[in-house]
Amino acid sequence: MNVLVIGNGGREHAVVQALAKSPKVDKIYAMKGNAGIAELAELVNIDYCDIKAVGDWVDSKGDIDFTVVTPDDPLALGLVDELESRGHRAFGPRKNAAIIEASKAFSKELMKKYSIPTAAYETFDDYEKAKAYIDTCDIPVVLKADGLALGKGVLICKTREEAQDGLKEMMLDKKFGVAGAKVVVEEFLVGPEVSCLAFTDGKTMCPMITSCDHKRAKDNDEGLNTGGMGTFSPAPFYGEKSLKEVYEKIMLPTMYAMNAEGRPFKGVLYFGLMKTAAGYKVIEYNSRFGDPETQVILPMLKTDLMEIFEAVVDERLEEVNIEWEDGACVCLVLASGGYPEKYEKGKEITFGDLDQDVVLCHAGTKKTDGKIVTDGGRVLGVCAKGKDIEEARQKAYRNAEKISFEGMYYRKDIGIKYKDVAKE
């Protein structure tokens, strides 16, 4: 089969590496890809948010058997619907299901209607009403812009003043554009966080192994929010009891709720969860693989990823036995100096002699004049496996030291948190 992968980050490189191992896959195309993906796929330079242009390219190419849509924007814009309407097979939720990530107001209402545990909340599209509500609610409080805002539309406010300022920025100053026209004001939850991803075809839900992200730029979860500075898998505190609770109270009810709403979800459903004193609660849904979670999950997958993708599209996921390796995996993100604020691009990367079983996931890289140079804030993911998280993290750090580019930085504490949280 010839497969097109939409996207250009570390997550897509992880997907491409997994697909390249499949005996079913002959050739991979990537739109737009990066320097790492280019080693395994032919790059196609088309803006994938222009869904008509993508459809036209797939039509004119004529030999694309399957398309994998991973980023949130083209899913929310309806790229899967566009390809299906032209008679092509595509992996990912349709537009009416991708809304579970694209609108926080939608996802919160869904959870309320179907009793799926989440933080208490109110939604506002009127600034004065939201302002009055914030004067009465408990502090800290969380503000969320309704629409997609590149992971930046969430404010954790420790004082009422901070909340009022944040609300004004979202609703009046339009800091997040139209995404902030509607705002969710939410109860602040406390507890360890876990990313639980699952494959689903709308009939069957298959949880993947768990992982934990590190969103802040600096050690000890300080500094600005980023797209993710590193991940590890599995979450140390997530045992059989957790799996059962999350599967029965959150995963299955979400699948049934989307079906009942006439929005069957097919693809990867990402549950961002917090383990609170009152049990697991949903912090957010994503309608796709997470980044950089995927970089620690897919290296542990024993089953053919292409087989899973096809089974999801054909609604026969029930027939596939998905298997994972034992042990652990850690991904360190090597970032450009200054990220997530201003940073320079075009710095040459040297790789050194890496351990053979270390997987590099390219994120912001490109090839110019035969050299691989930086091309984004998050540049590379160094992914290492081990019998446990400690062994994996030592290997990841040992190998990260061999890589360099001007201004490179990474967190030194990936894989340490939650070590002492009881497993259940």
Residues lying near ligand AMP in the complex (CB under 6 A): 119, 142, 151, 154, 156, 186-189, 193, 215, 272, 283-284
| Token code pair at residue 245 | 């609770």
Closer to ligand GLY by CB, 41 or 333: give it: 333
Taking CB under 6 A as the criterion, the residue among 213, 261, 304, 375 binding ligand GLY is 213
304 is a site residue for ligand GLY (CB under 6 A): no
Figure out which of the listed residues 242, 286, 336, 365 binds ligand GLY, where binding follows CB under 6 A.
Answer: 286
Residue with Cβ nearer ligand GLY (55 or 267): 267
CB within 8 A of 234, min separation 6: which ones?
A: 209, 210, 211, 328
Contact residue for ligand GLY among 146, 186, 291, 304 (CB under 6 A): 291
CB 49 within 8 A of CB 330: no
Q: Is 279 or 327 the residue whose CB approaches ligand AMP more closely?
A: 279
Distance in angstroms (rounded) separating the CA atoms of residues 192 and 185? 21
β-pairing, 121-124 vs 141-145, is unpaired
Which helix or strand (DSSP H or E) is residue 17 part of? helix 10-20
Please, which residue, 119 or 268, has the CB nearer to ligand AMP?
119
CB of 32 to ligand AMP, least distance (A): 25
CA distance 27 to 29: 7
Nearer residue to ligand GLY within complex by CB, 81 or 213: 213
Binding residues for ligand GLY, how many (CB under 6 A)? Answer: 7
Residue 103 binds ligand GLY, judged by CB under 6 A: no
User: Residue 293 touches which of ligand GLY, ligand AMP, none (CB < 5 to 8 A by kind)?
Assistant: ligand GLY
The CA-CA-CA angle for residues 41, 42, 48, to 5°, reads: 100
Closest CA to 12 of 52, 72, 65: 72
Can residue 293 be called a binding residue for ligand GLY (CB under 6 A)? yes
- Segment contacting ligand GLY by CB under 6 A, of 78-86, 284-292, 340-348, 381-389: 284-292
In the complex with ligand AMP, which residue's Cβ is closer, 253 or 272?
Answer: 272
- Helices 10-20 + 305-313 axis angle, to 10: 100
How far is it, in rounded angstroms, from Cα 112 to Cα 99?
16
In the list ligand GLY, ligand AMP, none, the entry touching 413 (Cβ below 5 to 8 angstroms by class) is none
Contacted entry of ligand AMP, ligand GLY, none for residue 42, CB cut-off 5 to 8 Å set by kind: none
Q: Which of residues 216-255 bind ligand GLY (CB under 6 A)?
A: 228
Question: Are 415 and 392 a contacting pair, CB within 8 Å?
Answer: yes
- Considering the complex, what minimum distance in angstroms separates the CB of residue 45 from ligand GLY? 24
Nearer to ligand GLY, 228 or 364 (CB): 228
Euclidean distance between CA atoms 222 and 216, whole angstroms: 6
Residue 286: name its binding partner from ligand GLY, ligand AMP, none (Cβ under 5 to 8 Å by kind).
ligand GLY
Nearest residue (CB) to ligand GLY, 134 versus 329:
329
Please report how close the Cβ of residue 9 comes to ligand GLY at its closest, in angstroms. Answer: 9
Using the rule CB under 6 A, which residue among 290, 364, 376, 377 binds ligand GLY? Answer: 290
Is residue 219 exposed (0-12), middle (13-18) or buried (19+ Cβ within 10 Å)? middle
| Contacts for 322 with CB less than 8 Å, ≥ 6 apart | 199, 206, 208, 301, 303, 308
367 binds, among ligand AMP, ligand GLY, none (CB under 5 to 8 A by kind): none
SS3 track for 267-312:
EEEEEEEEEECCEEEEEEEECCCCCCCHHHHHHHECCCHHHHHHHH
Q: How many CB atoms lie within 10 A of CB 85?
A: 10
Q: What is the dihedral of CA 346, 347, 352, 355, to 10 degrees?
A: -60
Beta strands in 40-176 (DSSP E): 42-43, 66-69, 90-91, 121-124, 141-145, 154-157
Residue 283 binds which of ligand AMP, ligand GLY, none (CB < 5-8 A, kind-dependent)? ligand AMP
228 binds, among ligand AMP, ligand GLY, none (CB under 5 to 8 A by kind): ligand GLY
Binding mask 129-168 for ligand GLY (x = CB under 6 A): ----------------------x-----------------
Summarize as ranges the residues that interact with ligand GLY (CB under 6 A).
151, 213, 228, 286, 290-291, 293
